[in-house]
Chain A
Amino acid sequence: MSTFILISVLLLFMVFAYQIGKKRVLQTANKDHKKLHSLPGYYGVYIAILCGLPALFITGIWLSLENQIIELILLSELPDKLRTLSTGEINLLVNDIRNVASNNISSREPSEPVLSAALRYNQLRNISFVSLAVSCLVICIVGLSIGLKKLNPSMRARPIVEGIARWALLIASIIAVLTTIGIVLSLIFESIRFFEVVSPLEFLFGLNWSPQTALREDQIGASGAFGAVPIFAGTLLITLIAMLVSVPVGLLSAIYMAEYASSQVRGIVKPVLEILAGIPTVVYGFFAALTIGPSLRGFGDSLGLGVASESALVAGLVMGVMIIPFVSSLSDDVINAVPQSLRDGAYALGATESETVRQVVLPAALHGIVGAILLAVSRAIGETMIVVMAAGLAANLTANPFEAVTTVTVQIVTLLVGDQEFDSAKTLAAFALGLVLFLVTLVLNIIALVVVRRYREEYE
């Protein structure tokens, strides 16, 4: 909370500096606007930037590094006995200290060193905050005085301010790149730590997945196995079922809408289909678990089929429904982009409408449809809530859609939700799975883009 106050104080300072700058430059020019190089507001902004921007910048860096530095100091001050613990236990200890320091309920009764460390932690945080606030103030005042000294009517305030604004724009557009880099780096770092424990070959080709690792040395029967093949197979199975639902339905409805439907029908049906895309996935998950799951199970029982209530079929079906609008709207776009002259040519040769669609329009739109399907596959692989709520947890290696299977996203969620220590192979495995997920979806997206671009038929 105090950080919010600090930042708002800094922003107030900036407003204040803006007013001072504007007034001061008008004074030095004797209220004669013609003597100024730029509009008076630019001088104000110039002063405000000099006053506030460095301080805000330093606050940002300070806050993002503060935690790491405090942790380092804490660890270096711990009694020797505690310092020799394994990294996992040290992480747990730091968590305890933090919990005690913020008066949360900690996982165990705090010991003497933890209590004193918690006090020290709070003390360090206070020191850090006070020094941050003081240095911000100093920087503000220094910036303000430098700016005011430089201020004169012939100063080229507008180009300077605009130069800074352009940098800000550039930085804003780089944030997206930074996000990608952050994703890649965090996934890779944690995965490397995972692969130090479990060999990549075992992870990629092992047939047995049971990530429960022993927390204590003497625990029996929980050595953990990290062969991810059953998970990949389960993901593929559910994705396949989803595609079997969404591709025919999506494609056929797109064709109908583009080629047959009157504009009134289109005006109603299109938004209705788009509602399907707007429904949160957690709602689909609930629908699958509450309605589709039990009814499919009852249906299977009446046929004498043993359908598990968390079968791959349920998750796949509902996921397929979720993806329908995705396939249909993308295909609709490419079908509409096929020039009318091609259709007219086919009609002139005596083809019926469906023959035209199948033999002329679809081949011409094929690149876009393939791209749409690839994007839909990547969406299905990355979908989380439906499978978390409707698919199983146990990693079965099976191709039977009536059995429960698990997926990459389900495993990530189950491994990371709830109590966790951040260094066991169990939690790190989630990052390895995340890396696989990220790479697969990335490759699918890139292939989709390439397909759409390279095989585009140019009609002019």
Chain B
Amino acid sequence: MSNNFNESVSELKPDLSEARLRKRYRAETRFRIYGIAAILFAIGILALLLGSIVTTGFSAFTQTEVALDIHYESTLFDPDGTGKFVPLSSGNYRKVVRKSLRDLFPEVTKRREKRSLYKIISSGADLSARKYLLSNPNSIEKTKRIWIKSSADIDSLNKGKIKRIVAESERRVKNNQILWFDKLSKENRVRRTFNFTLFSAGDSREPELAGIWGAAVGSFLTLIVTLALSFPVGVMAAVYLESFAPKNRWTDLIEVNINNLAAVPSIVFGLLGLAVFLNFVGMPRSAPIIGGTVLALMTLPTIIIAGRAALNAVPPSIREAALAMGASPLQAVTHHVLPLAMPGILTGTIIGMARALGETAPLLMIGMVAFIVDIPKSFTDPATVLPVQVYLWADAPERAFVEKTSAAILVLLVFLVAMNLAAVILRKKFEKRW
């Protein structure tokens, strides 16, 4: 019967199954290609992101320096000519630095030209001159060749970021400055060295004097506060919810609440910090202690969730064995279950800390965006953190801050990669299959 039916159908219609099959296979291939394209797109953007940051940021690790022959006259420390010497640290070093520049280019006489000549070197040049003399006090009345930072614009010129072919009116380095600079480099007075300032200084308005050390210390202090608050509280909460909480409505409420808190936008935590910690409690503005507290509340859900998962993975037989040996429930947890769950909890904590390290938005709300030059020394000093420093520099009008921003991002990423690697290694090393 069915045979007859099939035959009659095939008589009526041409056999399209071959074509249909081909079409279906083409659809199959297309679908696969979409998948591969999606993955390639994501990886491509990641590569573009990292590539653009590395290429713009790499040059910030070097800094152009100019050699000046500085003559430390003794009159430097006797400004009134009365023989009353001021201490070495308060001499007028700007004068000697500028004089040494003028000596190099005696043809420069007009005031405007002189001013643009001084702009070749950094405005912090007098500090380097002073630093040299303070460490070599016997060079008074002698001429010493000292390497001094060039200004950010000359640095960009040397690194090829300011193009010479651009019309003079459209670049920040003028033609005569280029001529002077070329003369200096012909006399081997120009070099590029490792930029120690980037890793030792705080923020500055001058790109060549700005560094990330202040922000790094701020990040460190903030993370210590975050860790000190969120780790104990998070572990305790996880232990309670996993081992002691009765199964009732209140426990459910706490659980739902923790899950929701994990999804609250970070900026809302900033608003909480502003309204409660800053305005109500009166914690010091811009300080690591308030930043750390806000970030601690933010990372708490992460630690609790990771902690519960880790505690849950420890087999109940361990606890039961401890109870059978006469341990109290609390002893069973603290002596046996918790140590076994610790690697998992630590992994979650490190990941939470990494997220806190990269967090910016809530800190903007509590004043950690202030322009802070000093390196913070305690938890209550005004400070900023690495991501906020990135934000501040990205907003700065000077072109030279672009490479500094990328360099700061690179440092931040190095820390993040290190923390995540630590978490992965910890997980690999201590992961146990029961």
Residues of A at the B interface (CB closer than 8 Å) are: 1, 4, 63-64, 66-68, 158, 162, 165-166, 168-170, 172-177, 179-180, 182-183, 186-187, 189-190, 248-253, 255-257, 260, 269, 272-273, 275-276, 278-287, 289-291, 321, 324-325, 328, 352-355, 357-358, 375, 378-379, 381-385, 388-389, 409, 412-413, 416-417, 422, 430-431, 434, 437-438, 441-442, 445-446, 449
Report the count of interface residues on B (CB-CB < 8 A).
88
- The answer to whether A384 and B276 have CB atoms under 8 Å apart is no
- The answer to whether B409 and A286 have CB atoms under 8 Å apart is yes
Q: Chain A contacts of B420 at CB under 8 A?
A: 278
Nearest-neighbor residue (CB-CB) of A39 within chain B? B331
Q: Chain A contacts of B275 at CB under 8 A?
A: 186-187, 189-190, 431
- The answer to whether B39 and A352 have CB atoms under 8 Å apart is no
- The answer to whether B265 and A384 have CB atoms under 8 Å apart is yes
- The answer to whether B49 and A162 have CB atoms under 8 Å apart is no
Q: Chain A contacts of B425 at CB under 8 A?
A: none
| Contact residues, B207-240 vs A (CB, 8 A) | 232-234, 236-237, 239-240
6 CB < 8 A contacts A-B: A172-B232, A179-B300, A183-B271, A272-B46, A290-B56, A445-B260
- The answer to whether B364 and A417 have CB atoms under 8 Å apart is yes
Q: Chain A contacts of B30 at CB under 8 A?
A: 354
- The answer to whether A276 and B276 have CB atoms under 8 Å apart is no
- The answer to whether B267 and A281 have CB atoms under 8 Å apart is no
In the complex, identify which listed stretch (B73-81, B93-101, B107-115, B354-362) lies at the interface while the others stay far away.
Answer: B354-362
Whole-angstrom distance between the Cβ of A185 and the nearest chain B Cβ = 8
| With A183-B268, A290-B52, A354-B31 as contacts: A176 and B300 at CB distance below 8 Å | yes
Closest 6 CB pairs of A and B: A382-B265, A256-B35, A67-B282, A280-B358, A172-B236, A186-B275
Whole-angstrom distance between the Cβ of B357 and the nearest chain A Cβ = 8
- The answer to whether A173 and B237 have CB atoms under 8 Å apart is yes
Q: Chain B contacts of A383 at CB under 8 A?
A: 265
In the complex, identify which listed stretch (B4-12, B20-28, B133-141, B161-169) lies at the interface while the others stay far away.
Answer: B20-28
Nearest-neighbor residue (CB-CB) of A375 within chain B? B263
- The answer to whether B240 and A378 have CB atoms under 8 Å apart is no
- The answer to whether B281 and A176 have CB atoms under 8 Å apart is no
| With A186-B276, A280-B387 as contacts: A162 and B330 at CB distance below 8 Å | yes
Q: Map CB proximity to A onto B92-136 as digits: 1 under 8 Å, 0 otherwise.
A: 000000000000000000000000000000000000000000000
| With A1-B380, A172-B240, A416-B365 as contacts: A272 and B301 at CB distance below 8 Å | no
- Most A-side CB within 10 Å, residue of B234, B254, B361: B361
- Most A-side CB within 10 Å, residue of B38, B266, B304, B330: B38
Residues of B at the A interface (CB closer than 8 Å) are: 24-25, 27-28, 30-32, 34-39, 41-43, 45-46, 48-49, 52-53, 56, 232-234, 236-237, 239-241, 244-245, 253-254, 257-261, 263-269, 271-272, 274-276, 279-282, 297, 300-301, 304, 328, 330, 354, 357-361, 364-365, 369, 378-380, 387-388, 390-391, 394-395, 402, 405-406, 409, 412-413, 416, 420
Nearest-neighbor residue (CB-CB) of A422 within chain B? B279
In the assembled complex, the Cα of A67 lies from the Cα of B280 at a distance in Å of 7
- The answer to whether B267 and A434 have CB atoms under 8 Å apart is yes
| With A168-B236, A260-B32, A283-B390 as contacts: A63 and B272 at CB distance below 8 Å | no
Whole-angstrom distance between the Cβ of A277 and the nearest chain B Cβ = 10
Query: Which secondary structure dominates chain B's binding surface?
Result: helix
Q: Which of A176, A422, A449 contacts B237 (CB 8 A)?
A: A176
| With A1-B378, A272-B43, A283-B413 as contacts: A441 and B264 at CB distance below 8 Å | yes
- The answer to whether A260 and B260 have CB atoms under 8 Å apart is no
- The answer to whether B272 and A182 have CB atoms under 8 Å apart is yes
Q: Which of B25, B52, B241, B265 contacts A352 (CB 8 A)?
A: B25
- The answer to whether A382 and B266 have CB atoms under 8 Å apart is yes
- The answer to whether A384 and B266 have CB atoms under 8 Å apart is yes
- The answer to whether A176 and B258 have CB atoms under 8 Å apart is yes
In the assembled complex, the Cα of A67 lies from the Cα of B285 at a distance in Å of 14
- The answer to whether A276 and B42 have CB atoms under 8 Å apart is yes
In the assembled complex, the Cα of A248 lies from the Cα of B34 at a distance in Å of 9
- The answer to whether A183 and B272 have CB atoms under 8 Å apart is yes
- The answer to whether A183 and B405 have CB atoms under 8 Å apart is no
- The answer to whether B244 and A249 have CB atoms under 8 Å apart is no
- The answer to whether A287 and B53 have CB atoms under 8 Å apart is yes
- The answer to whether B28 and A354 have CB atoms under 8 Å apart is yes
Whole-angstrom distance between the Cβ of A93 and the nearest chain B Cβ = 15
| With A256-B39, A412-B267, A416-B274 as contacts: A63 and B281 at CB distance below 8 Å | yes
In the assembled complex, the Cα of A45 lies from the Cα of B416 at a distance in Å of 39
In the assembled complex, the Cα of A381 lies from the Cα of B53 at a distance in Å of 26
Whole-angstrom distance between the Cβ of B275 and the nearest chain A Cβ = 4
- The answer to whether A409 and B265 have CB atoms under 8 Å apart is yes
- The answer to whether A177 and B253 have CB atoms under 8 Å apart is yes
- The answer to whether A283 and B266 have CB atoms under 8 Å apart is no
Nearest-neighbor residue (CB-CB) of A389 within chain B? B394
Q: Chain A contacts of B261 at CB under 8 A?
A: 176, 179-180
Whole-angstrom distance between the Cβ of B231 and the nearest chain A Cβ = 11
Q: Chain B contacts of A182 at CB under 8 A?
A: 272, 276
In the assembled complex, the Cα of A431 lies from the Cα of B275 at a distance in Å of 9
- The answer to whether B239 and A413 have CB atoms under 8 Å apart is no
Nearest-neighbor residue (CB-CB) of B234 within chain A? A172
Nearest-neighbor residue (CB-CB) of B361 within chain A? A384
Nearest-neighbor residue (CB-CB) of B49 within chain A? A287
Q: Chain A contacts of B413 at CB under 8 A?
A: 279, 283
Nearest-neighbor residue (CB-CB) of B236 within chain A? A172
- The answer to whether B237 and A389 have CB atoms under 8 Å apart is no
- The answer to whether A413 and B378 have CB atoms under 8 Å apart is no
Q: Chain B contacts of A278 at CB under 8 A?
A: 354, 358, 416, 420
- Most B-side CB within 10 Å, residue of A186, A189, A422: A186
In the assembled complex, the Cα of A285 lies from the Cα of B53 at a distance in Å of 12
In the assembled complex, the Cα of A1 lies from the Cα of B378 at a distance in Å of 8
| With A173-B254, A249-B38, A287-B52 as contacts: A158 and B328 at CB distance below 8 Å | yes
Q: Chain A contacts of B258 at CB under 8 A?
A: 176
